[in-house]
Structure 1
Amino acid sequence: MNLKSDFVPPMINGVSASKVYLPTLQSHVGSIFDYLCQEFPHISQNEWIQRFNDQLIYNQQGHILTIHSPYTPNSHVFYYRFLAHETHVPFEHQILFENNDFIAVDKPHFLTMSPTGQYVQETLLVRLKKQTNNEFLTPIHRLDRETAGIVLFSKNPETRGLYQQLFAERQVQKTYHAIAPFNSHIPFPQHIELRMEKGEPFYIMQTCDGEPNSSTDISILEHNQYWAKYELKPLTGKQHQLRVHLNSLGLAIKNDSFYPSIQHKKEDDFTSPLQLLAKTIEFQDPVNQQIYHLFSKQELTL
């Protein structure tokens, strides 16, 4: 039985519903609750029970489900993700520019882009959805939680792919600023090319032998006896690329907790932001053909 419906779950407090397909199973599953617990073992039974009790799980006709609702193959259910406790990030974003198709946002340090792990409400995407009441907002590209600066969000599903294609085809010029040690023995400008792969633990990157798959142009904007402000222009978009490339010169970015070595910090420690800023972004708009050159209002200082 394939139950069709035009039900569109509403956005609740900036959070859009997640959609799960219920397939035909070889083994018997009595309830939707049993299936969700089985399919998502990393989510506790108590958390699923709470979501059902809070009436945050719907079938595709828009009816609220309970923990006793029977499993219905070849249908969909929708659920909302909320966390009982989140660490508040005490910094605000700023919308720099918007048109009918995208928003350019100045992201603060420490704010995660999208719901993941221990963050849902305390993410830039959910904050923006609540602010704009636009449930179709989607990041066109991403910045690390630790990195501040300019980032683009799609407003319109119909044109989203055009902007994503710009990034995929490297038609976007991005400039970053970073504070790192000054070494008078290292000449600049530098063109860095390295092969980067997933490291150990999984959330860091490492350099290895082989054909380079990452490249960055690096120059010095200003310096004193100990520190320099570097301008970095990535020509590729590997995870942690700028952090790894500067570190490869022995110039780890100030307050970097991953490179050259991992330093675990408490989630509520906001005292030492990574000194890396996505300063500018430039591209030709694929919809109106206008050239945009957008700047973060934030500054890094020596």
Structure 2
Amino acid sequence: MTRRSHVPPSPLPQLSGIDPVRLRLPPDPEGRWPALGSYLAERYAGTRGAESMARLLAAGRVLGPGGRVLRPEDPYEPGGWIFFHRDMPPEPRVPFPIRVVYRDGHLLVVDKPHFLATTPRGSHVFQTALARLREELDLPALSPAHRLDRMTAGLVMFSIRPEDRGAYQLLFQNRQVRKEYEALAVHDPAVELPRTVRSHIEKVRGVMAAAEVPGAEPNAESLVELTAVREGLGRYRLTPRTGRTHQLRVHMNALGLPILGDPVYPVVAEPADPADYRRPLQLLARTLAFTDPVTGLSHQLETGLTLQAWDDRPGWETGPLPEETV
């Protein structure tokens, strides 16, 4: 069995809640890289990071263990470690607070607002629940137990201590958390509910929308219930029994009930102005029920957020967000 190599502590602190990049230099049996700069130039060649890495090296912002500043001409050291913070473009601040629903010494559960990603990904790095909570609550070791889509609001669980992270993540992997969501969509009396929807959902990397694969073995299951009707609008309780990407949005669309404000289903919309927060996806993670694997406490937690279209129907319509000038 191969023993995992020791990772030295980073000489760089977190930056606005984001850890520095830790990069281990690979073996070089053929001597292709006489200097560190030649390796990094080849590694990032043809990517947007090539110029950025050259700037970081020139500015002395790439460090080795212990804080030693590394230069492009330094000898290449196979198996060595380097540390740096990527240059990131400015991100518009998502102007909604994150409310703490529950906190103890091990566990943090919050209400994530619409438009805020759970964890850094793509163009959303600093404006994520993880980065903001690490800074706002001074919890640098905070890590997510699961994720919500950026467009979905509601309850998200985080582990406060690194040694507890695996136990909380296993709760979701082993389906030991009961989750209920609330969604708003048009009411269609022809759609018989309650109903359990089962299908095979696949999400291809780089493609915005997930898709159902006809005839394939189901890998996604959702219970859909209608709980109220108002002026042609339906309020639905959604209980996912699996956790595929976009599962609830795909299943509601398959029923002919696309969720209000959805920019992907049934049609992928043109990119909206990132500062336009007028029409959030009307999907909310409402409850989390579970037994804490660390403390043994039984939790039944409920969001304090609401879906605005239920009380503000005028101006809302099904389908994608309107096109905006970016």
Instruction: Identify whether the pair has TM-score above 0.5, normalized to the shorter chain.
Output: yes
Amino acid in structure 2 at the alignment position of 1:232:
L
- Residue in 2 that maps onto 1:262: 268
Question: Which of 52, 65, 73 is the aligned partner of 1:47?
Answer: 52
- Residue in 1 that maps onto 2:321: none
- Residue in 1 that maps onto 2:235: 229
Question: Which of 18, 38, 41 is the aligned partner of 2:42?
Answer: 38
CA apart distance, 1:54: 5.2
User: Considering only aligned residues, what root-mean-square deviation do their CA atoms show, in Å?
Assistant: 2.0
Question: Which of 11, 14, 37 is the aligned partner of 1:11?
Answer: 14
Identity %: 33
Report SS of the residue matched to 2:248: helix
- Residue in 1 that maps onto 2:300: 293
Whole-Å separation in 2 of the counterparts to 1:113 and 1:235: 21
> Within the alignment, does 1:169 sit opposite 2:204 as a pair?
no
State how 1:1-302 maps to structure 2 within 5 Å: 6-9=8-11, 10-25=13-28, 26-41=30-45, 42-53=47-58, 55-198=60-203, 202-208=207-213, 209-264=215-270, 265-301=272-308, 302=310
Whole-Å separation in 2 of the counterparts to 1:54 and 1:181: 56
Amino acid in structure 2 at the alignment position of 1:225:
E
Give the 3 Å change call, closer, same or farther, for CA 249–213 of structure 1 in structure 2.
Answer: same
Per-residue CA deviation, residues 187-225 of structure 1 (Å, 9 max, x unaligned), is 211111111112596232111122111101111121123
Report SS of the residue matched to 2:51: helix
Q: Which moved more, 1:120-129 or 1:174-183?
A: 120-129
Give the 3 Å change call, closer, same or farther, for CA 56–191 of structure 1 in structure 2.
Answer: same
- Structure 1 residue runs without a partner (length 5+): none
Whole-Å separation in 2 of the counterparts to 1:148 and 1:54: 40
So what's the TM-score if we normalise by structure 1?
0.92
Per-residue CA deviation, residues 148-190 of structure 1 (Å, 9 max, x unaligned), is 1110111111111111111111000001011111001112111
Whole-Å separation in 2 of the counterparts to 1:289 and 1:107: 25
Aligned pairs, how many?
Answer: 300
CA apart distance, 1:266: 2.8
CA apart distance, 1:35: 2.2
Q: Does the CA-based 8 Å contact 1:190-1:218 persist in structure 2?
A: yes
Amino acid in structure 2 at the alignment position of 1:271:
R
CA apart distance, 1:115: 1.8
So what's the TM-score if we normalise by structure 2?
0.86
Report SS of the residue matched to 1:50: helix
Report SS of the residue matched to 2:250: helix
Give the 3 Å change call, closer, same or farther, for CA 201–105 of structure 1 in structure 2.
Answer: same
Q: Does the CA-based 8 Å contact 2:119-2:147 persist in structure 1?
A: no
Q: Of Structure 1 and Structure 2, which has the larger fraction of its residues in strand?
A: 1
CA apart distance, 1:67: 3.5
